Chains A and B, each alone.
Chain A
Amino acid sequence: MKDLLKQLTVLYGPSGREHTVADVIESLVKDKVDSVRRDALGNLICEKKGTGAKRIMFAAHMDHIGLIVTHVEKEGWLRVSNVGGINVNMSRARRVKFMNGVQGVLYEQALKAGENSALSTLFIDIGAKDEAEALSMIEIGDIAVYAEPAFDVGKTRMVSPAMDNRSACALLIGLLSNLPENHQSIVAVFTAQEEVGVRGATVAAYSAQPDEGIAIDVTVAGDIPELKLNAVKMGEGPAVKIKDTRSISHPDVVKRMIDAAKRAGVPYQREVLPYGGTDAGAMQLSRGGMPVGTLSIPCRYVHSACEMIDLQDMENGLKLLVEYIKA
């Protein structure tokens, strides 16, 4: 799991530009499933028929947040807007990279008295001496992402700017690699454009038309100093989502997830998130609706360049999911 996660977290893939991630995942799973296809929004949709009567869609989004170039100044500075939930306070003095490999420093201009930080006070320095040189390196509309490399911390923990949500992609790949003998039919969708409003899952759920939808995503671990919003702790097991602002998990899905955790003998946590949402919110409203749930991987420092997860939560999440899909 650790090697897989390292492989996935270094890939470039902001919302709308997920194809590199999709290419790698496709190469990893194509022998394990019956069919693989892409759609217009960039979703990677993999089907594996099972012996069970149910078709379950699993959604793990491939995209991460980024900064899109809107303007190049005469001096060569790149001005940016956000792609997804960029936090300005976590964006100063960051190493960033573009799809074509160009790297730069994301920094904030000197603020006038009384001026507040905003996306419009940020800029990227790609080392260009002027506008013309900058435009020879990147184009308006190109997207930069936090470029810090993944690294290990402690005994079982790992940090990367792309834990949200490559950790869930790794979990879903893990599930396809560890299918039990008798299982429900699986539609494993590695979704696009989640961070800008669960767009990929919206269309994938429509075309796949499953019986049930399960999102796999990170959730905010509330175990850091003075953050008392959320009871979920990193390292204490995968979290079974009860609700967030986009969906209320179906009680039967919640119960079956918890039963699966108990059967697998893994710890689990109940999660109520007072903000945010996952692909479950999109799947739930597709066509005539479907029961949905979310399995969450507790993650510290979400939407920063240093998102931290505990690999034990992922291993336990995998055991839970393998148990969950048994027919």
Chain B
Amino acid sequence: MPRKTSTLRFLAQTILLLFWPAMTVWASDPKGSSSNGTNIFAPASTPAKSIADLSVFVLVITGIIFVVVLTLLLYSVIKFRGRATDAGREPAQVYGSTQIEVAWTIIPILVVVVLFLATARVIHAIQDAPEPAGTLDVIAIGHQYWWEFRYPKLGIVTANELHIPVSDPSHPTPTFVQLLSADTDHSFWVPELAGKTDLIPNHPNRMWMDPQRTGVFLGQCAQYCGTQHAKMLLRVSVDGPEDFAAWVRAQQNLAVEDTGAIAGKRVFESNACMNCHAVAGTAADGRFGPDLTHLMSRTTIGAGAAKNTHDNLRLWIQDPSAIKPGSLMPAMKLSDADLDAVVSYMETLR
């Protein structure tokens, strides 16, 4: 019966396909590796780790259910296929069985109870976690299409690239992030550090993470927020204690006054730039766009849309939509001389 064998083959392939994600995920577990991706099964922080553990538990239970039900289905399809010898005779007409119905009602109820209890424990552990003494507080504000980060106790305002300290499990220094939105809904998602939490206007939220290895962790906005939702990328730099302290000291400084870039500064302050952007220590105090005081300390521009290089910066100021169509920053239509001047001014903001 060629049809039956192809049914079998297809089913075998499908089972493989279903388990493929789990297998590739475990095979590529980058424990100890320095490059970080966005794999939810490569957690580097307590919330992400307890989610991954729960996920494996749920995957195993659902995997067992899958195998059992699939076996029943396959067995009945193959065993009870119609044969030429049936010749019009009808099989025994069975209407049901109370015992069997009770059995396959009670067993799933028990499975649900087990799954629920395991889940409720993780919900409580993550959501109701107390803030220990060494906590770093950060406020993240979602904007169309970039992230504003404020460190209220440290007096720092920055954008798109969050710096937080690594947390030693024996002496935890977790980061608690208050999530706000300036416009539409966004969602803060760095898969290897924590599950996602939305940023909703008029609805402050909170999330936390305690990364246990250093490195740059990638993420992005997960809740559709408008035209450029796709390029609202997010980088979390987890620094060692000394590196983090150095970063804090550098960020707390006012902008460097470089006399060589005075022309560019004049362009910046005599055009609309300063309506939206702030540069601490100067007249520019706009808050609609990212704070530029230490722009050159960031590795990307446009919320991760491009690397922070001279050419990209120039192109961005000349026409942001060339890199990020739909970005709310207008093309400033500067002359080439003004453009070069303002780019060199930007490049002094270390």
- The judgment on whether A and B are partners is no
